[in-house]
Amino acid sequence: MRRKFIAGNWKMNKTNQEAIELVEGLVKELSGIDSVDIVVCPPFTALSDVKDVIDGSNIALGAQNMYFKEKGAFTGEISPLMLKDIGCEYVILGHSERRGIFGEKSDLIEKKVISAFDHGLTPILCVGETLSEREAGDTFKVVEGELRNELKSLSKEQMKKVVIAYEPIWAIGTGKSATSSDAKEVIDFIRKILADMFDDNVKDAVRILYGGSVKPDNISSFMKEETIDGALVGGASLKVDSFSAIVKGAL
């Protein structure tokens, strides 16, 4: 039985004071919920302050990115050692904004996935197609390529712990979510590829989320699909009311 999983990706939003206020509200609003893994992913600058607030609560900490090296001359980067040291359990890797705006390719993302495991962090790996790829009928090809290139070096035991977020890029931040049947079709395909790359145990164990304009009023349509285990939430994770309603909608 896979545990449900709801993660909030705050992206480049929130000063430290705003981050503290948001997460204080979430701790209060979500206390007592124990059937869903709840993760917040603030910007790097707020990780430490947010960690202080969530300590002892049912909310875990994730980062939005990292470099794969432990330390050295990599100006502007953050290492897995630093994330672990500050109390992160998760790290989002391969988000479409990293791929699209910052030019991250599969070979780099694969190194990050391996490094996350080497340092005791659980990757939340984002995969998904652009609108033009979908319109060209390439959705499955794109998603399969990302999975095969970025997860190929993991052991079965590591793979079972990875959280995959299927995020069609045309649905991110646009207010236009995929339908639950669009999402289910691709998520079922992802499970098929995982069975082929690893085995059926892996296919059944991996948690796969949908991401792309998830809101309080559409979360239940995704959660009623047996193969969708939760959501990666961007815009709607920035307010106590909407993120709490999404978590509660996943119960």
Which positions touch ligand PEP (CB under 6 A)?
9, 167, 172-173, 211-214, 232-236
Q: Which element (helix H / strand E) includes 38?
A: strand 36-41
- Compute the distance between CA of residue 8 and CA of residue 106 in angstroms, rounded to an integer: 23
CB of 232 to ligand PEP, least distance (A): 5
- Pick 10 or 117: Cβ nearer ligand PEP: 10
CB of 218 to ligand PEP, least distance (A): 11
> How long, in residues, is the chain?
251
CB of 117 to ligand PEP, least distance (A): 22
- Compute the distance between CA of residue 218 and CA of residue 179 in angstroms, rounded to an integer: 9
- Pick 125 or 202: Cβ nearer ligand PEP: 125
Catalytic residue (one of 104, 129, 144, 167): 167
| DSSP 3-state of 166 | strand
Do the beta carbons of residue 66 and residue 117 sit within 8 Å?
no
Catalytic residue (one of 21, 95, 104, 135): 95
Instruction: Tell me the residue nearest to ligand PEP as measured from the CB.
Output: 234
* Of 168, 165, 105, the residue nearest 133 (C-alpha): 168
Cα distances from 239 to residues 80, 103, 227, 235, in angstroms, run: 28, 29, 27, 8
CB of 174 to ligand PEP, least distance (A): 7
CB of 153 to ligand PEP, least distance (A): 25
Cα distances from 169 to residues 32, 122, 124, 149, 211, in angstroms, run: 34, 23, 16, 19, 9
29 is catalytic: no
- Compute the distance between CA of residue 163 and CA of residue 236 in angstroms, rounded to an integer: 20
Cα distances from 240 to residues 16, 23, 243, 249, in angstroms, run: 16, 8, 6, 14
167 is catalytic: yes
- Compute the distance between CA of residue 129 and CA of residue 30 in angstroms, rounded to an integer: 33
- Pick 42 or 235: Cβ nearer ligand PEP: 235
- Pick 80 or 211: Cβ nearer ligand PEP: 211
CB of 230 to ligand PEP, least distance (A): 12
Within a 13 Å sphere around the CA of 59, how many CA atoms are in the beta-carbon half? Answer: 26
- Pick 121 or 232: Cβ nearer ligand PEP: 232
- Pick 53 or 232: Cβ nearer ligand PEP: 232
Catalytically annotated residues? 95, 167
